[in-house]
Structure 1
Amino acid sequence: MSSSAAPTHKSLSLTQTFAASLQPWINLTRVKFFAGTMLVFWPYAWGLTMTARSADVPIPQFFYLLLCGFIGASLSHSMFTSLPSTGAGCVWNDILDRNFDRQVERTKNRPIASGKISVRGAVLFLWAHLGIMLWMVRDVNALAWKIALLTMFPLAGLYPLMKRITYWPQAWLGISMNAGVVMAWAFITGSIPTSAIALFAGTWAWTIWYDTIYACQDKKDDINAGVKSTALLFGNYIKLVLAFFASIMMGGLILAGILNGHQLPYFMLSVGGGSLYLAVQLYAVDTDSPKSCWAAFHRNGFNLGALIWSGFLADYIWKANASVLSDYVSL
């Protein structure tokens, strides 16, 4: 019995060793922090559902495109942003910010900053993600291809540098994070209507909302490290300014809904429900508490995004069913 027990012990040891060697790479992608991926996914999901409603996209095709967008968001996290998520975004951010990360308590143990992963290894890991994402958009039309390339490289790629030169890095982030809105329209229709621009403006303001709250976690360390953010810029007026951007977000949703001909489900759930949720969140969040800020950020990635999408989805299905019923009656 002793001879049969030995290989089992060795097998477990090898498995544990392999798992330990993978752990820094898993931590680099921040796969266990999924709120960031959802914050990339929701603008695409909103834009796609809006487009599907307008262009009468069949429901099976819609859900297939939704799944593709979710996979893309998981891989890219808008390519190169710093929010906690999976994929290339965290890799690129951690490469550029390794010296800053060492000075911030919350980030000092990240794999590159702590030396567990070399910069060369991280770069190769990044290119693997990029290759997959370029392959995923290989067959899109010319307009969608241009948007994809613009988002992947100059927009998202330059974001980590913005916090070194301006107190408005969140404004730049908002452009790259929400490219999925116009990407969905471009891919399906080959055009970008005014309603898509209105929705994009609303999601841009939403990014400033949630990423300002996210940046409040590191206010003290960012001052010492020389990192700039809207959390520092807004200072004691932060809740007042957040209310302003929440209003812009809701204004964008209202205008987009009117221009795209949305009906009651959208305005009740997406606009009404979203407005109420933002108001409650603004009242509850303590911008001087990292724990409170993280919880609020997390709720944006899951609860608020899903609530607003439910209105888009209900209105799309309502219209699709109404069209089927109309065709049936006409027969």
Structure 2
Amino acid sequence: MSEVQLLIRDESAQYITTPKSAFKHYIELTRLHKFPLGNILIFWPSAWGIAMAATAASISPRVLAIETVAFLLGSTLLHSAACVLNDICDKDIDGQVERTKSRPLVTGAVSVSGAVRLLLVLTSASIAMLSFTNRTAALCGLVGVFPLHALYPLMKRWTWWPQAWLGLAMNWSFPVAWISITRSVDWAIVPTFFFGTVCWTIVYDTMYACQDRQDDIRTGVKSTAVLFGGYVRSILSAFAVIFVFCMAFAGYLNHQGPAFFIISCGGAALHFIMQFITWSPDIPAEGGEKFAMNHDIGYIIWGGMLLDYYLKVVA
């Protein structure tokens, strides 16, 4: 082959793209191609609930491990189902937002009917996972599917506080996990910690929503990112303080040890301080970066809880 022919072939190759398979488009619809980004935020409350309940009830490491893996799978399925539902409901809005205009339903890479079928499969699998726990926990878990996750996509049309509703949905696994371990509800510990996690979701999802604030204003989409305006940093700082306080108070009620208060509570507080010091709400890209940083808070809190469990129950 001549040198000219090679040059023509190489230059032409720059314009040849391989179309994505239908499978990859469906994976994008579930957000599993970004795993654990997003998925793990719905898992953390269940992991925390299992660890705290295991400490309170002196559950064996084997049961703790089995429950944790089961909730990881269930949480991932539910998060994927919620993402599919959200894209179905927001198809027209997503097409007007720079960050979301290339999603599979917007571009037509996946049909609405195909997305609905996928939604039914994922929802059925999520509900099936509840059969591995006790009846009370399963019934509690159904509330997380409907109305909490099912109605979330509509909240940005109804209220300026869709992030608060998302907080209820994303963290509902905490009481479900607690009941799965203890078969009962501690009406002091569970509501306190759960309320704190709702505040946490308001923090990270408002940061995330700041990426689309200008598009949301233009399209009339409601969010706390728009509602808080120029006070978004100070208001979210207050929600972060409430989360850490609720976590610490719930730990006190649950008789957690020093590892929990130093690593889980102290570590989360320091991480929040770092987030807010380095965050510029008016720079859209930083909203996504700070959202991702909240995944690390989960590891910090869980690590302190597991160490505390080990010292109090296993050692």
TM-score scaled by length of structure 1? 0.87
- Matching of residues 1-331 of structure 1 within 5 Å: 20-33=21-34, 34-77=36-79, 87-193=80-186, 194-301=188-295, 303-322=296-315
- The amino acid that maps onto 2:70 is C
- The amino acid that maps onto 2:128 is W
Which ranges in structure 1 are unaligned for 5 or more consecutive residues? Answer: 1-15, 78-86, 323-331
Rounded to whole Å, the distance in 2 between the matches of 1:141 and 1:190 is 7
Rounded to whole Å, the distance in 2 between the matches of 1:70 and 1:18 is 32
Question: How many residues were matched structurally?
Answer: 297
Deviations 1:115-142 (A, max 9, x none): 1111111000000101111211124333
Identify if the C-alpha distance between structure 1 residues 124 and 17 changes in structure 2 by more than 3 Å, giving closer, same or farther: farther
Query: Counterpart of 1:84?
Result: none
- The amino acid that maps onto 1:24 is H
* Superposition deviation, residue 17 in structure 1: 8.3
Deviations 1:223-271 (A, max 9, x none): 1111100000000111110111011101111111100000100000011
SS where residue 224 of structure 1 aligns? helix
Rounded to whole Å, the distance in 1 between the matches of 2:63 and 2:126 is 20
Query: Counterpart of 1:9?
Result: none
- 8 Å contact 2:22–2:109 — kept in the other structure? no
SS where residue 117 of structure 1 aligns? coil
* Superposition deviation, residue 76 in structure 1: 1.1
* Superposition deviation, residue 18 in structure 1: 9.7
Rounded to whole Å, the distance in 1 between the matches of 2:65 and 2:131 is 20
Rounded to whole Å, the distance in 2 between the matches of 1:130 and 1:181 is 19
- The amino acid that maps onto 1:93 is N
- The amino acid that maps onto 1:43 is P
Deviations 1:89-132 (A, max 9, x none): 11000000000000001101101111111111100000010111
SS where residue 29 of structure 2 aligns? helix
- 8 Å contact 2:208–2:291 — kept in the other structure? yes
TM-score scaled by length of structure 2? 0.91
Rounded to whole Å, the distance in 1 between the matches of 2:91 and 2:21 is 22
- The amino acid that maps onto 2:304 is G
Rounded to whole Å, the distance in 2 between the matches of 1:212 and 1:291 is 13
Deviations 1:15-64 (A, max 9, x none): x9896232211211111222211100111101110000111110011111
Bigger Cα displacement from structure 2, 63-72 vs 26-35: 26-35
* Superposition deviation, residue 75 in structure 1: 1.0
- The amino acid that maps onto 1:249 is F
What is the percent sequence identity of the aligned residues? 42
Rounded to whole Å, the distance in 1 between the matches of 2:125 and 2:21 is 26
- 8 Å contact 2:144–2:173 — kept in the other structure? no
- The amino acid that maps onto 1:135 is A
Query: Counterpart of 1:83?
Result: none
SS where residue 146 of structure 1 aligns? helix
Rounded to whole Å, the distance in 1 between the matches of 2:243 and 2:183 is 25
Rounded to whole Å, the distance in 1 between the matches of 2:158 and 2:215 is 17
SS where residue 192 of structure 1 aligns? coil
* Superposition deviation, residue 321 in structure 1: 2.9
SS where residue 131 of structure 2 aligns? coil
Deviations 1:144-184 (A, max 9, x none): 12211111011110001000011100111111110111001
Rounded to whole Å, the distance in 1 between the matches of 2:148 and 2:66 is 27
Bigger Cα displacement from structure 2, 105-114 vs 17-26: 17-26
